[in-house]
Structure 1
Amino acid sequence: MRYNSPGHIKLDLLPRLAQQIEISARQLSDNDAFIALEEFYASTYRYFKENNINGFDDEGDSISHTLPPQVIQRLDELVTFFFRLMHWGDYRSQFGELQIDSLHQLRALLAYYRRLRKLKPYLDSDKLFLGISRLTNTPPNT
């Protein structure tokens, strides 16, 4: 791993992780993908509101135990759809093996997306570059 302040990071030791981060960030650069992600995000929170689900994790939140089966099924579908939007197909089954229900999985994914989309202005203004170093002007080693 190489870090040059104020922000050059090279992740040679973790190539699969670096590649997944790049794939995620590229979804923000692709206007159609970004619009689809934003629509997904907004419609998911509308669905939460329609079903009286708090969109954010709460320590005492036991709502997932009282949700009707059709809501639980829909939440699972939303988790799967998010993985498709992010091009993370390889990780859906692993994520599903976590010992958490679909609601908490979806909340974690939405929290990840909220943080990821903060990169969009930097990508749009060419202050953040993916897969290439401005210091060496070469693509990463694969």
Structure 2
Amino acid sequence: MLSVFAIYLALGAVAGILAGLMGIGGGLVIVPMLVFCFTGLAMPHEHIMHIALGTSLASIIFTSISSFMAHHRRDAVHWGIVRRIVPGIIAGTLFGAYIASLLSTNLLKGFFGIFLLYVAMQLLLDRKPKSSREMPGHAGMFGAGSGIG
């Protein structure tokens, strides 16, 4: 059991270092590593991708809370934006979890692979979003929140 814990500890450290160096989310690194680990632990194949994604998202909750608290201490949280985007985040989270529960592990792997290719292209092309001072309306905020969720 201790060796499994050490593997997961190393996994988290590697994901954190790579995410910090490349400026990407840790989930992009953690999910494939968890799939590899879970396969080695002989978990049921039909649940591996669901468990890997869920585990990654659960760990992100803690880092998000920590980051949120640090921004709040610096008075850098725009509460008006938070109130407008949270309903979309909640709806997107519930809808995404429901859809994921209907999909097979292989289909989820395919979607995740396509997402990885998209992120890789963004990194290779060094694409950055255009800065804008104008916030989207309610529908735009709900849509953005749903995509985040």
Structure with greater proportional helix content: 2
**TM-score, normalised with respect to structure 2:** 0.39
**TM-score, normalised with respect to structure 1:** 0.40
Structure with greater proportional strand content: 1
